[in-house]
Structure 1
Amino acid sequence: MYESDGSIMVYWHAVHTPEGATAAAVFARGIAATKSHYICVGSSTGSILVFNIPPKGTNITVSDVLEEHREPITDIACDCSEHKGCIADLVTADDSGVLCIWKSGEDFKLIHKISSYGSTCSSVRMWSGMIAAGYGNGQIQMYDAETGAMQVEVNAHGRWVCALDIASDSGKLLSGAEDSFVRVWRLSRNPESNAIEVEHSHTECVTDVQVCGAKFCDPRGNAFAVTGYDLSEIIRYIQV
């Protein structure tokens, strides 16, 4: 962990390395900062390390290790919106497709554990009490963070969904996949039933590129950037 300008490394943590010639190396995958002073980092063992970040100084400590997953962690996301009424604010995903929804704090509490649907959950995002999960079968599934119930299933892509992002100010959802397509969706809730609704807004084809990274460039979602497998460029798109 570094100072915000990247100039000084203030903390490092050595993950446990198993012994034996056939033991696989342990690596970190998935990171998210909660609204409180914690940073969660996933690992290939399925554990999630919770780091306590002090308001001042560099006395960073491992305050908890979450052991609910049995497969390597693929992604972690936190709900940093001002949504009220839902105590769940963190979601973690693993290689088997299991999702765990948590309430962060001094004692992290498991709120819901969503069973696998038979496909890896490769990317997950959380916003305003909604959870967007992208899967290896090309689907995006939307969950209600408060109840853990799946409310929307979208056949979004023809191949593996590699990246999701949500524009915090508008609720736009960005998805990128190995099928070379990047799509923008609009997330909302029905004012009468409070059910999650997803509307397709825009599609871009990145010709001959297996998209592996996609992210909005501003909180409104008026621009986004993508990159692809074996591509040394970042391509930026602007809404006009």
Structure 2
Amino acid sequence: MYRRDRPLLLRSCPAALYNNLCVLPLPASGLAQFALVHGSNCELLSAVPSGLPLSQRLLHAKEGAGLNLPLITQAYWCVLPFRVLLVLTSQRGIQALFARGIAASGHYICVGTWSGRVLVFDVPAKGPNIMLSEELNEHRVPVTDIAAEPAQGQDCVADVVTADDSGLLCVWKSGPEFKLLTRISGFGIPCPSVQLWQGSVAAGFGDGQIRIFEASSGALHVQINAHARSISALDLAPEAGKLLSGAEDSFVHIWKLSRNPDSGCIEVEHCHAECVTDTLVCGARFCDPKGSSFAVTGYDLSEILRYSCV
């Protein structure tokens, strides 16, 4: 069970974008960094688990003189082997009309675009010399989300998944050249959010369903009628196998994932439900790898709601 903690007050309300919350836990200092977007601004906050925010600032997207400011479409903390970067995507750029979907795999950062291309950037250990390494061209409609999981050096292990507005999921093995392993059809239903856990893909769809697939084969493990409206955010606490889902129906659910040792199938247990009354949930994230706390944002809600285990 979870209880509501002291919320974090915001300077502006989050935009009505799915996956509009990112959390970077800092275990050594006991802090968590929060990032969300509204219009051409990205708001950053740092806070201790149950206290007031320790710092708060706004990042402004800038453009050439006389032009309108670009709208930011997503903010995401990318944890790389030697550095941590805050990556922002926007509706304007040289490579794409708009970008959406961000994930880090090793020293690569993957960014999705409106055309369906996924841009793979090679990030050095230090300095600004970031190079475009590869373009992945399996999607034909706008990319919605990207997720990654450390492959721990194993061969032919799926460690990146990309999703799009048709619901198509593409599962990849990252490296100097990304290798496509599996294509999983979404039957025309958008997939706003996706996660990877122990070789399984958890995908949240526009019909409110969560589907869990085997990453290597695309076989369906579980289908859950989780929400009454479109899912807007998924997150995983890898150390506990907990899955967090938030949706436009104002509900946030927590599910416990486990793999049956005999059959190898994924089993799901519902653990907790929270209603954010009259609020379109647009972001939901765990605040630590064990899933002992989580945070929620909503459209026209001028605070980050926080919850922790009782």
Q: Under a length normalisation based on structure 2, what TM-score does the superposition of the two structures give?
A: 0.69
Q: Which residue of structure 2 lines up, in the alignment, with residue 63 of structure 1?
A: 133
Greater CA drift, 218-227 or 75-84: 75-84
5+ unaligned residues in a row in structure 2: which ranges?
1-76
**TM-aligned CA deviation for residue 4 of structure 1:** 4.6
Ranked by relative contact order (alpha carbons within 8 Å, sequence separation 6 or more), the top structure is: 2
The Cα of 1:14 is off from its aligned counterpart by 4.1
Cα shift readout 1:96-152 (whole Å, capped 9, x = no counterpart): 110000000001010001112231001000111111000000000001112111111
Q: Are the aligned partners of 2:159 and 2:174 in contact in 1 as well (CA < 8 Å)? A: yes
Aligned counterpart, 1:150:
220
Question: How many Å apart are 1:58 and its aligned residue?
Answer: 2.7
Q: Which residue of 1 aligns with 2:94?
A: 15
Residue type of the partner of 2:267? E
Q: Please list, as runs of the form range in 1=range in 2, the aligned pairs for 1:76-95 lying within 5 A after superposition.
A: 76-80=146-150, 87-95=157-165
Letter in 2 for 1:137: D
Q: Matched residues in 1 for 2:280 and 2:164: separation?
A: 22
Aligned counterpart in structure 2 of residue 134 of structure 1, from 195, 201, 204 = 204
Higher strand share: 2
Residue deviations 1:54-73, cap 9 Å, x none?
22333210010111100000
Number of paired residues?
226
Residues 1:220 and 2:290 aligned together: yes
Give the one of 30, 38, 45 matched to 2:101.
30
Equivalent position amino acid for 1:209 in 2? T
Structure 2 CA distance for aligned equivalents of residues 41 and 109 of structure 1: 16
Name which of 185, 189, 201 aligns with 2:255.
Answer: 185
| In structure 2, distance between residues paired with 1:173 and 1:95 | 22
Q: CA RMSD in A?
A: 2.2
Equivalent in the alignment of 1:121: 191
Amino acid aligned to 1:72: P
Contact 1:102 1:109 in 2 (8 A): yes
Runs of 4+ in 1 over 2 A off after TM superposition: 1-6, 13-17, 55-58, 80-86
| CA distance in structure 2 between the partners assigned to 1:83 and 1:173 by the alignment | 25
2: CA distance, partners of 1:85 / 1:186? 28
The amino acid of 2:99's aligned partner reads A
